[in-house]
Amino acid sequence: MSTKQNEKRPGILSQLYRGETDFQFVAARKKFYIASAVILGALVVVMLVKGFVLGIDFAGGVQYSVPATDSSVSLDDVENAAADAGAEVASGQIAGSGDGRAFIIRVGELDSDEQTAVRTAIAEEAGVGVDSISVSEVSATWGASVSKQALIALIVFMVLVSLFIWIRFERRMAVAAFGALMHDLVLTAGIYSLVGFEITPSTIVGMLTILGYSLYDTVVVFDKVQENTAQLLQTRSKTFAEGVNDAINQTLMRSINTTIIGVLPVAALLFVGVGILGVGTLKDLALVLFVGMIVGAYSSIFLAAPWVVDMAERSAVYKRHNQKIANKRAGTDAEDEGAKPARKSAKAEDEDDDRLVLAKSDDLPLELLEEPEKAASGSGGARSGGPKKRKRR
């Protein structure tokens, strides 16, 4: 990440803490786009070449969880016992420790008679009662039907959430949030393929939850963007891109906190899921959430908000606005002297813009409540010293 740091500023952590960072997320957005595109492209190739490791739920099979109280019995012994009884052992592992230590043996599909035979054989080998072995059996079609339902849920969720953001914020943000979501999905799936994490139905449904989480993050950023840019057009001080960049910087600590606070309990879950239980829903859910939350935080900062800028800058209103700011910055002197006639038409345009914006900004209760007259009437020349400046930046 390129960090542009001003000389007088305190350390980066302290800046972060105070929301005073000035990272050029938006100006450098092309770099992030390219980086993301390269990573995504690479991961798509990985997915196509390497494919996914599918869990027991997709292939169908039986999982035995055998208490390993007798330390003289090894995992190999138990696996062999299962194989001798006619099972095709897919994997075996030891989970937990001490009293909770257990062998987890996965085998291919068995019918119920074979299952009983394998269970008995394992029980004898491990020196435990048949009743103390937990069995979990899945048919080969189960994973597919769970995934199908998850896919339906995904589509419904996408549509609803896009509508929500459209209504709550605006169209551009809905599109950007949607794009960020797709990015998160592909990236998470790619990481799964790359690392070779096992995919289970829980993983797939956990992915849906990530979408919620990733959006949650995006919504927090957008909320600030909307607040910062609501009255932007009435000022001459910032372009839309700069406004958005400020918003990202101001919410950066929030985003980081959101992600850390979200990831902490998931990490606890992951620790327990992997360390104590070894396998199962808990691990699958925690892992996918863990990966997805981090990816989601990245996409809302580096992709979603900059996309909004890209789309916004294509509109005429913002183009004019940018032009005015460019003019102002380029030649304050020249303009002050000779541009009085031109100023008039510019002012007329301003008022058009203001009306347009004010129509949309009635959801800013505090400002309007406290300073209604000023906000409504403030298209005068004293813009840059307007009341809004009291707020930071």
Partner 1 sequence: MASVTGADRPRKKIQRKRLPVAPYFVGLILVLALLWVAAIAGSGWKFPTPKLGLDLQGGLSMTLSAYQQGTEEPPAPETMEQARQIIENRVNSTGVSEPEVYVEGSENIVVNVAGNDIDEEALRAVGAPAELRFRIVTNSVADTSALEEQLAEQETPTEEPTDGASETPTAESTETPAGDASEAPTDEAAEETSEGSGQAPTTEDTAATLDEVWAKVGPDAAAAAQALTAAPDEATSALLEPFGALKPEEVALLPATVQFYLPQITCETLDSRPPGAVQQPDIEVTACSAPEAAAADDPSLTFQYKYLLQPATVLGSDVTSADVGTDQANLNQFVVNVQFSTEGAEKWSALTTENLQSQVAIVLDNEVVSAPTIQEVSSNSTQISGEFTAAEANQLADQLNFGSLPTNFVVETVNEVTATLGVDQLKAGMIAMVLGLILVFLYCMVYYRFMGFVVLGSLIVATAVLYPTVALLGSQIGLTLTLAGIAGFVVSIGITADSFIVYFERIKEEMAGGRSARSAVPRAWVRARRTVLSAAAVSMLSAVVLYILAIGPVRAFAFSLGLSTLVDIMVVFLFTHPIAEFLSRGNLLNKPSLSGLHTKTAPAAAGEAAAKG
The residues that bridge with 61 in the sheet, in sequence order, are 138
Min. distance of Cβ 346 from partner 1 in angstroms?
Answer: 24
Q: Which stretch binds partner 1 (CB under 8 A): 184-192, 275-283, 334-342, 346-354?
A: 275-283
Q: How many CA atoms lie within 13 A of 1 on its CB side?
A: 11
Q: Does 13 bind partner 1 (CB under 8 A)?
A: no
Distance CA 103, CA 114 (A): 19
Distance CA 57, CA 60 (A): 5
Nearer to partner 1, 43 or 78 (CB): 78
Strands annotated E in the chain: 53-54, 61-67, 89-95, 102-107, 134-138, 198-199
Min. distance of Cβ 337 from partner 1 in angstroms?
Answer: 25
Q: Does 70 bind partner 1 (CB under 8 A)?
A: no
Q: List all residues 6 or more positions away from 264 whose beta carbon is below 8 Å from its beta carbon.
A: none
In what helix (H) or strand (E) does residue 376 lie, and over which residues does it extend?
A: helix 372-377
Size of the site for partner 1 (CB under 8 A): 93
Q: Going residue by residue from 232 to 271, which x/- string records binding to partner 1, judged by CB under 8 A?
A: ------------------xx-xx--xx-xxxxxxxxxx-x
Nearer to partner 1, 277 or 346 (CB): 277
Euclidean distance between the first and final Cα of the chain, in Å? 23
Q: Which stretch binds partner 1 (CB under 8 A): 284-292, 299-307, 321-329, 330-338?
A: 284-292
Q: Does 18 bind partner 1 (CB under 8 A)?
A: yes
Nearer to partner 1, 74 or 141 (CB): 141
* Residue 196 identity (one-letter amino acid): G
Find the binder of partner 1 among 2, 49, 76, 131 (CB under 8 A).
Answer: 131
Region 334-353 residues binding partner 1, contact defined as CB under 8 A: none
* Residue 164 main-chain phi, psi, to 5 deg: -60, -45
Region 50-69 residues binding partner 1, contact defined as CB under 8 A: 57, 65, 67
